[in-house]
Structure formats: structure tokens, C-alpha cells
Chain A
């Protein structure tokens, strides 16, 4: 690959020697999704090399593998779902091992796709007039589900990718915003992202929430319609992060900083539309996402084919890799994730739990590498249902939702 340097990267500090920590090869696990772009760009377009780092990207097949391989030192760092480090710090899941996120890999990319059959019913029976309005779609689905119940039809089966995923929380958030109880009105299952459009085509599932490019792949095949995107649900929602073991970060502080500098230059580059053709080309490679290059190009541009009739929708900032401090890990986002874990019965609130959840985000390591001011806990707004999240009042926030899961009574180990 050619080395491509953008003008904005000119002011970066020159790479020096990393004598104290030796020559650095960093093994990074990733899942083939468009939001691995920052890692791929850092590897393919010279940003890591410029910081004296050789990024060894290792493709994996499941988030459980990524988590375990990071925990057991087969990976130094990993492309992770933002709730994964939070879950690990709360001791949730099968193999919780302390994981921190000093860098976010961007925002956006997720969407909810429903089968064309279900979508047709939402229009015919659910009175859906505005298929581009995500909240209207959720309400129409609620009306269809109500009719399904009246007639004793089987309830829809909907897929997410992992129990501790933005997809799980975003799908649930969207359903609940429409008045649907994700635990009793539908059946939520897990399907690996590359299998989602096949599962939809085969009728094994009626919808899914996954990252790019799999939604677009399903609409292009004519098996699904996109009814909501991550931006519709919460525009500033964090998506993937760079995860690492706290101990690795402590023993390799210089490498961590250089890696963050390299990723930040790559993220800025990924945001420039003029670089998208080259980025799409790189991502299409069988070693990375292995999806058709024209779909990747349109995904990066936010040009969506939302249904088999070819209806187009352009979503501004569908992917944000860098702009608007997208890469700074925010403890208030970790606490929002914690609030959703509580809302859906994966955890119970405690002040110790809130501390543990927030500790998954390490803006201090981000600032050590890149500078910038400290950002305290902020009130988050812009949610599809009009709620605002105050990280200081998690319990009140959870209580304020009309639709929520069972409460966990026994406190979780932290």
C-alpha cells in the first residue's frame, strides 16, 4: 500500500525511539466490520509505522473470542464493543477480565433492519406513513405486534450480536420507545453479523440490529428494510472502542501513547470524504471486511438503500471516525451503558458499580497522548424518546422509563 499523509497530520510529533519498551509490534484483534476502519487505516496507510509501531491485525469470528484472546494475552489490544470493557469491570459475562478503553474508534454505523414482510405489515396494518421516521417505525411495529398477539401469531424473533453490545441496548431502546417490551413482546436472539442477512432471508429471524455493512447487504439482497439507524436513536452514542488490559497499559505507557497518536491521525484521515475510495478499497480486502467495495463506499458516504424498491436515504454523519471529539472515551457514556444494563436486568445499581463502570473509560490516557482538557460528567441528550441522561441520577433515569426489564434483586459481584 502507498503511504498517504494528509495535510492535517503534518504537525504531528516526529517518531522517536521507543528504546525503553523495545521495538513495538502490537497485536490487535478485530471483527470484520466497517468500524474497524481506524485500525485498518492505521495499518495500511502508514500512520502506525510513522509512530514506530507495527500493527499486527488479527481477524476473529466472535466477540467472545476477542474478549478471551485479549484476557489471555494473545492480543495486546482489540477492537471491542463499547459495553464490553464496562461489562468486564462490573464482572459480568462468562470470562470477565479487567479491560480499559483509552480510545474510542468512532460513532455510528449501526442500524436496525426488519424483514420486508414485517415492514409491509407495518405499512398495511400499522399505519406507517413515514418509513424514514425511526420513532414512527417503532410505533407501527408495536401496533403490528399487538395484532399478532390478538390473533395468536408467533411473535417476531429479532437478533442482536452479543449480550453486552450497543446493538442490544440500541435495539431495546428503539423497541421500548415504540412501547414494545423487548423481553416479552419479541424474542431476542444472538446471530453473528455476517450471518444476519442469510438468517433474515431464511425466515429464521424477522429483524436485526448490527453494524455496517450488514444492514446494507440485506437491503441490497431485497430481504430487509432499514427502519432506524444509530443516529436516529442517540446521535452521540459510542460504538467501538480500543480495549486493552490495564496491566499492559501500565507496563507499556509509551506504546499506548504512540498507538493513540497513530490511531488519531488515522481516524482524522478516515473522516475525509476524499479518502473514502481508498478506505473502501482497503476494507474490501479479504483480510479485512471482505465485502463488495461499492457497498462499502456507499456505507461510508451514508447513502442508504433502505428497502428492496431502492428507496434512498442519505444519513449525514452516519459514520463519524474523528469529528466532534468522537475518539475521547467518556465516562458518562460508560455510565449510560451501565444504566441500560440495569434497565434490562443485567445488573443492579450500586455506587460501587457506577464507579467500576466509569473506570472502563480512560480519558486520562487519551489526554496523556493527545492533550486537551478534562471533560467531566455531562448530561446527555438527543435520544429518540426525548429523555435526557444525567449520570449523577442513574436510578431516577432508569425508573423514568415506562418500559423496562425485570429488576435484579441480588447485587452483582463487582
Chain B
């Protein structure tokens, strides 16, 4: 059975994340996807767009403004309810966990909304993973920089070769059951204190 294509509005202040979601929804065959990055003027957009589903990130403090809007639209006999089927709480919990919230036009069939929510959830999670990996990569880079500086200090102050300096750091880390970067940081800190 063919359905009318659903109109989806994505509200997300994060430009990268929202483009990841948009792409996911398009891949899933939704062509009527609109993305906005700020809620300013959202009332007019909702009025003209008449979305069936609104996806919004829950870190957005303007959600309360949306609630106010829906209180108003209620009186325009276009009730928008959150989450189609409360009984499917596992799916809703997964959405909350991922940081997605959705508003759905009352009466829309669960089977039609579930895939949209699933795409949003998986894309939100993918984005969080991306952000985590980026943060990890950044801190790995920071650690390497610190180890380099500590090596340089040891080479200068104790006349060691680069290999010897690195071996000393690693041995000390093993003896003290600490991370190499922590030992390197304390060498840098101590040098800063002693050499001024």
C-alpha cells in the first residue's frame, strides 16, 4: 500500500549532526525533510510546513518553547502528541538515551513513525560516537605532545639520548603503575617549577 510521503522537520542547533540525520532520512526514502538550526521563527515554519513529525535534540533548552507552541496549536485542532505509542517504551527510552525527542501528529500510524525515529536514533548515536572518537584522537595527540616535551627536558637536563629518555619515562610509569602521559606531565610540571 502506498502512503503519502511524510513531512519531517528536524530542529537541531548542531549543523553537522542535523546534516547526518537529514542524510539518513533521505537514504530511508524520505524526500520531504526540512532542517532548521534555530527555533527563532519556528511557529511560522510549522504553520506553513505542517510537518507530520518533528525531530528535536533534547539538549535544546527551547523545547519548552515548543511545548508552549503545541499548547496553542491544540486549540487549532491540530493536536501534536509526543511519541505515538507509549506502550513501546523500549524504543522511547532508546530515543531519550540517544538525545532525540520527537513530536508526531496525532493519529499517525506507529508503523510509519517507528522507522523515522529509528533513523534519527541511530544517526544521533553515530554522531555521538564520532564526537567521542574525535575527543579521543585529540587527547591522544595531546598526550604525544606532552611525552615529546618530557623527553626533551630529560635529554637536556640529564644528557640522555632520545631512546634513553623515552625508556626512563616508560620504566617510571611501569614502576609507579601510572600512564606514560601522567609521568610525562609531572616531568613537565616539575621542570616548570624548578627552572624558573
Q: Which of A's residues lie within 8 Å of B, judged by CB?
A: 61-65, 68-69, 72-74, 93-95, 97, 161-163, 189-192, 194-195, 345-346
Q: B58: CB under 8 A from chain A?
A: yes
Expressed in whole angstroms, the minimum distance between the Cβ of B91 and any Cβ of chain A is: 10
Expressed in whole angstroms, the minimum distance between the Cβ of A205 and any Cβ of chain B is: 12
Contacts of B60 in A (CB 8 A): 61-62
Contacts of B80 in A (CB 8 A): 94
14 contacts between A and B (CB under 8 A): A63-B67, A65-B58, A65-B63, A65-B101, A69-B96, A72-B96, A94-B80, A97-B86, A162-B64, A162-B67, A163-B68, A163-B71, A190-B67, A345-B75
Among residues 47 to 69 in chain B, which have CB atoms less than 8 Å away from a CB atom of chain A? Answer: 58-68
Contacts of B66 in A (CB 8 A): 64
Interface extent on B, as a size class?
A: 20 to 34
Contacts of A345 in B (CB 8 A): 75
Contact A192 B67 (CB under 8 A): no
Q: B83: CB under 8 A from chain A?
A: yes
Contact B67 A93 (CB under 8 A): yes
CB 8 Å contact bits of B11-35 with A (1 = contact, 0 = none): 0000000000000000000000000
Expressed in whole angstroms, the minimum distance between the Cβ of B131 and any Cβ of chain A is: 18
Bound Cα distance A81, B67 (Å)? 15
Q: B135: CB under 8 A from chain A?
A: no
Bound Cα distance A74, B70 (Å)? 24
A61, closest chain B residue (CB)? B61
Contact B59 A94 (CB under 8 A): no
Beyond contacts A68-B58, A162-B68, A192-B65: 5 other A-B pairs, Cβ-Cβ < 8 A, are A73-B89, A162-B67, A163-B67, A189-B68, A191-B65
Bound Cα distance A156, B2 (Å)? 48
CB 8 Å contact bits of B63-95 with A (1 = contact, 0 = none): 111111011000100001111001001001100
Contact B61 A95 (CB under 8 A): no
Q: B164: CB under 8 A from chain A?
A: no
A345, closest chain B residue (CB)? B75
Contacts of A72 in B (CB 8 A): 89, 92-93, 96
Which residue of A73, A95, A192 contacts B82 across the interface (Cβ within 8 Å)? A95
Contacts of A69 in B (CB 8 A): 96
Expressed in whole angstroms, the minimum distance between the Cβ of B39 and any Cβ of chain A is: 10
Bound Cα distance A72, B87 (Å)? 11
Closest 10 A-B residue pairs measured CB to CB?
A190-B68, A192-B61, A95-B82, A62-B63, A61-B61, A190-B65, A64-B63, A94-B82, A163-B71, A62-B64
Contacts of B96 in A (CB 8 A): 68-69, 72, 74
Contacts of B65 in A (CB 8 A): 189-192
Q: B97: CB under 8 A from chain A?
A: yes
Contacts of B63 in A (CB 8 A): 61-62, 64-65
Contacts of A346 in B (CB 8 A): 71
Contact A94 B103 (CB under 8 A): yes
Bound Cα distance A180, B86 (Å)? 40
Contact B62 A192 (CB under 8 A): yes
Expressed in whole angstroms, the minimum distance between the Cβ of B52 and any Cβ of chain A is: 16
Pick the most buried of B63, B80, B86: most chain A CB atoms within 10 A of its CB: B63
> Contacts A61-B60, A61-B61 known; A74 to B67 CB distance under 8 Å?
no
Contacts of B61 in A (CB 8 A): 61-62, 192, 194-195
Contact A68 B101 (CB under 8 A): yes
Contact B64 A192 (CB under 8 A): yes
Bound Cα distance A42, B103 (Å)? 36
Bound Cα distance A62, B83 (Å)? 18
A60, closest chain B residue (CB)? B58
B83, closest chain A residue (CB)? A95
Bound Cα distance A69, B100 (Å)? 12
Bound Cα distance A68, B56 (Å)? 13
Expressed in whole angstroms, the minimum distance between the Cβ of A55 and any Cβ of chain B is: 21
B72, closest chain A residue (CB)? A163
Contact A68 B93 (CB under 8 A): no
Expressed in whole angstroms, the minimum distance between the Cβ of B74 and any Cβ of chain A is: 9
B67, closest chain A residue (CB)? A64
Contact A61 B59 (CB under 8 A): yes
Expressed in whole angstroms, the minimum distance between the Cβ of A69 and any Cβ of chain B is: 6
> Contacts A68-B101, A94-B70 known; A161 to B64 CB distance under 8 Å?
yes
Which residue of B62, B70, B82 contacts A68 across the interface (Cβ within 8 Å)? B82
Contacts of B71 in A (CB 8 A): 93, 163, 346
Pick the most buried of B61, B70, B86, B97: most chain A CB atoms within 10 A of its CB: B61
Contacts of A61 in B (CB 8 A): 58-61, 63
CB 8 Å contact bits of B87-126 with A (1 = contact, 0 = none): 0010011001100010100000000000000000000000
Contacts of A62 in B (CB 8 A): 58, 60-64
Contacts of B83 in A (CB 8 A): 95
Bound Cα distance A346, B67 (Å)? 13
Contact A190 B64 (CB under 8 A): yes
Contacts of A190 in B (CB 8 A): 64-65, 67-68
Bound Cα distance A345, B72 (Å)? 11
Contacts of A73 in B (CB 8 A): 89, 93
